[in-house]
Structure 1
Amino acid sequence: MNTIQLTDRKGKVRIGKRVVITTTFDCNINEVWQRIQNVSTLVEICKPMARFTPHKGDMPIKWIIGKSYDFNLYFHCALPMGKHTIMIESMNEQTYEIQSREYNTLVPIWNHLIKIQSSKDEKVNYTDEIDLYAGCLTNLVAWWTSLFYKHRQKRWKVILGK
């Protein structure tokens, strides 16, 4: 985890952390790319460490660039953590990258970059890069984030059947 400078939604500079977790999947890059665009994939890979339910209305089907999504966030599927907002800033099919800007009451900055790359041995390198700020809890949240994204990547492997 590296210490980095971040700017919050009000333009104030904050000192946060960058968490980078990478794994390899034994599958086709298009399979991962198609699945990652579905909101249901987020729900599935987070279980049981976190659960997302729609804050209002129905669960969206696909992520849409520029749209903000409000969810109720629960830690370990039970402990309510309040509203979590995810705004999809970009989804680049040429580079296989997705950038989201996220926040909630506990973590006002949660910027998530997903990078998917084909490797020479016909596997997929998958990286989650999270820049976060949570005030005096930043180090604790960064530690939990590291565990959470390792869990998510293991769940990805289950979903992909690999």
Structure 2
Amino acid sequence: MKKNILLFGILGLMSNGYAQNNKPKSKTEKVVIEYKDKSVKGKQLTVSSEIPMDLDSAWANVKTPALLEFVAKGMIRFKTIESEFPKKWEVGQTYGVKMRIFGFIPFGGTHYLFIEKIDDNNNTISTKEWDKGAKVWNHDVTMKDLGNGIIHYEDSITIYGGVMTRFITAFAKRFYVHRQKRWQIVAKEKLNFTE
């Protein structure tokens, strides 16, 4: 009986350890960046987690707008202002969207998303983004294979919005934690957005 209790206790600790690892972790730091030829005070937000998914599948998915729409669902809905999103993000292209918080509250006017880099060798995507509120929203996605079908996933965002920087960063933190929790659904249900 005592052995069974001990065994269940150890299994519980092990499963809680994994749950702690795949729960998104965040860090915010003050940074000085250049904006319109001036040095301004911004924030650097980093949100990371472990996702039980093979790197190739995760990397193929992250290069699609369909994945962005899925992981943002429930918090932000995007409506393109010109044509529809492409099947895959295209380097050098800028996409304009209207964002609605919780699907109905307008936020930030037109948000522009410029795809600066998609690095297949290092599993990194970099975007430069901006709107009326967030003058700078530079976003890097990085993935690393940890082995055993688990990846380390990280969103790193440099944010500047003048007097609204702190508020925008608080919103961004909530949004990226939400996104990474939705990534767990992608992994669990083995969703594929490339088709």
Same fold by TM-score greater than 0.5: yes
Instruction: Identify the residue that residue 112 of structure 1 maps to in structure 2.
Output: 139
Query: Structure 1: how far apart are the matches of 2:154 and 2:168?
Result: 19
Aligned in 2, Cα 1:59/1:122: closer, same or farther, shift over 3 Å? Answer: closer
1:51 Cα deviation from its structure 2 partner: 1.0
Matched, 1:101 2:128: yes
How big is each residue's C-alpha offset from its partner over 1:76-104, in whole Å with a ceiling of 9 and x where there is no partner? 11111221100011010110000100001
Query: Structure 1: how far apart are the matches of 2:87 and 2:78?
Result: 13
Percentage of pairs with the same residue? 24
Q: Alignment partner for residue 34 of structure 2, among 4, 7, 11?
A: 7
Larger Rg: 2
Which moved further from structure 2: 141-150 or 125-134?
141-150
**Where do residues 1-150 of structure 1 align in structure 2 (5 Å cutoff)?**
1-8=28-35, 10-81=36-107, 82-150=109-177
Amino acid across the alignment from 1:24: E
Query: Structure 2: how far apart are the matches of 1:42 and 1:122?
Result: 22
Query: Structure 1: how far apart are the matches of 2:54 and 2:147?
Result: 12
CA RMSD of aligned residues (A): 1.2
Amino acid across the alignment from 1:92: D
- The SS at the match of 2:165 is helix
Query: Structure 2: how far apart are the matches of 1:54 and 1:122?
Result: 34
Contact 1:28–1:124 at 8 Å: present in 2 too?
yes
Contact 1:53–1:59 at 8 Å: present in 2 too?
no
Which moved further from structure 2: 77-86 or 110-119?
77-86
1:39 Cα deviation from its structure 2 partner: 0.6
1:73 Cα deviation from its structure 2 partner: 1.1
1:12 Cα deviation from its structure 2 partner: 2.7
* Structure 1 segments (4+ residues) deviating >4 Å: none
Amino acid across the alignment from 1:125: H
Amino acid across the alignment from 2:114: M
1:122 Cα deviation from its structure 2 partner: 3.5
1:143 Cα deviation from its structure 2 partner: 1.2
1:13 Cα deviation from its structure 2 partner: 2.3
1:64 Cα deviation from its structure 2 partner: 0.6
- The SS at the match of 1:119 is strand
Higher helix share: 2
Q: Alignment partner for residue 185 of structure 2, among 147, 155, 158?
A: 158
Query: Structure 2: how far apart are the matches of 1:48 and 1:55?
Result: 21
